[in-house]
Chain A
């Protein structure tokens, strides 16, 4: 039960983190310079952006839930379960960032999700 809760936190936290970080970065505007001073300026604006910081906090929650889940359950359960976050993040991007998910992209994301699940199931010794 607690394992399921922690895995949900890993997935939800990661997806929410990605959505917030994207929102923050979109607010800063497209980065299109290689000027070091300007890049440092952009980095400073990013780490003081409210959305970006919220995203980082969600990422941290996701990471520590991951560590917690690993104490209760095997990596062979936890890691494949987290591959669902590719689909969940896509739903978040559709709902909160207004991104259009065309059929090609959807097919690609489902394949990636399947492949990551396959890769992350450890081989039996």
Chain B
């Protein structure tokens, strides 16, 4: 239950963070007169970084991604990596949906199919139990129930 709650908040924070970052960075790119992706001299990169640092959207996105990483690490303090990592892949599905609804991106049939397959995979993983190891006092990881 705790695992589910922490991971759901983590995934939503990540998807919201990605949307904020995309919105923020796209707004910068459209302000940029030269526009092209090819332009990448050092001074232009520094200029873009400075602009990004002044964008509230970029800050919001970065903070949300820090929240994601903190919750992800917290979940790893008790749950299996081979559970947490595939479970957070549900974030890809949210990203496709968010891109469609909030960023007006066109989503192909193949990407929707990918989203459905990921959802299935996450359902399977969530049925597999979230913890198979215990940590002993000395930090050694041993199979659960072996002691």
Question: Chain A residues in contact with chain B, CB under 8 A?
Answer: 18-19, 21-23, 25-32, 43, 46, 52, 86, 89-90, 92-94, 97-102, 104-105, 107-121, 123
Closest 6 A-B residue pairs measured CB to CB?
A108-B124, A111-B121, A118-B114, A115-B118, A115-B117, A119-B114
Closest to B140 in A: A98
Cβ contact of B125, chosen from A32, A43, A112, cutoff 8 A: A112
Contact B135 A119 (CB under 8 A): no
Interface residues of chain B, those whose CB is within 8 Å of chain A, are 2, 70, 73-74, 76-78, 80-83, 85-86, 89, 92, 96, 106-108, 110-111, 113-129, 132-133, 135, 139, 141-144
The answer to whether residues A116 and B81 also contact, given A108-B124, A111-B120 and a CB cut-off of 8 A, is: no
Selected from A25, A112, A119, the residue in CB contact (under 8 A) with B86 is A112
B133 near A97 with CB under 8 A, answer yes
Is A116's CB under 8 angstroms from B76's CB?
A: no
On whether the beta carbons of B82 and A94 are closer than 8 Å, the reply is yes
A61 shortest CB reach to chain B, Å: 17
- Is there an interface contact between A90 and B82, defined as CB atoms closer than 8 Å? yes
Q: Let me know if A101 and B110 touch, CB within 8 A.
A: no
B123's nearest neighbour on chain A, judged by CB, is A108
For residue A98, which residues in chain B have a CB less than 8 angstroms away from its CB?
132-133, 141-143
Q: Are B142 and A21 in contact (CB under 8 A)?
A: no
Q: A residues within 8 A CB of B107? A: 123
Whole-angstrom distance between the alpha carbons of A121 and B73 in the complex? 28
Cα distance A101–B128 in the bound complex, in angstroms: 9
Cβ-neighbour of B92 out of A27, A28, A30, A116 (below 8 A): A116
9 A-B contacts (beta carbon < 8 Å): A18-B81, A19-B81, A86-B85, A89-B85, A97-B141, A100-B143, A108-B122, A112-B86, A112-B89
